[in-house]
Amino acid sequence: MATPAQRTVTDVLQDIVGNVQEIIRAEFRLAKAETKEKVRKASRPATMLGVGAAIGMYGLGFVLLAVVYALSQVVAAWLAALIVGVALAIMAAILVSTGKKALKRISPVPEKTVQTVKENVQWSKDQIR
């Protein structure tokens, strides 16, 4: 094997290309891992948001049912439906609010990948000089 002083330009360029290819592969692996982690973190808040929205729809249905009962006849049935509807609407508001707050705390940008790409660009510039 040739010593560093005896290396040809072709050998050096091949090493640089190989290093750049490995860096690109590593960046893709890092981005993939970060994306999986972000999706895992977002799944629970997104589920709460979806469940909250579904319960909210049921709440609205019960409130509307209560209005129908109230308009058609004044009996205890409408009061029961109104209580259920309001309770479901409150639960939905809590779940939706909690889910939204949790989702806002999660950044969709793969920060580690962005940082290492910047470092690799700087390294490449330094190698060219």
Question: For 62, how many CA atoms within 13 A lie in the half-sphere containing its CB?
Answer: 19
The domain in which residue 27 lies consists of 9-128
Residue 120 counted as domain residue: yes
The number of beta carbons lying within 10 Å of the beta carbon of residue 66 is 20
Position 38 in a domain: yes
Calculate the alpha carbon distances from 74 to 42, 61, 62, 95 in Å.
Answer: 46, 19, 16, 32
Overall number of domains in the chain: 1
Specify if 85 maps to a domain: yes
Q: Using one digit for the tens of pLDDT, what is the confidence trace for 3-25?
A: 556 778 888 878 887 888 888 88
Task: Tell which residue, 37, 69, 34, 56, has the closest CA to residue 100.
Answer: 56
* Chain centroid offset of residue 109 CA: 9
The answer to whether residue 75 sits within a structural domain is yes
Question: Which pLDDT tens digit goes with each residue over 27-83?
Answer: 888 888 888 888 888 888 889 999 999 999 999 888 877 877 776 775 677 777 778
Q: Does 16 reside within a domain?
A: yes
Residue 2 maps to a domain: no
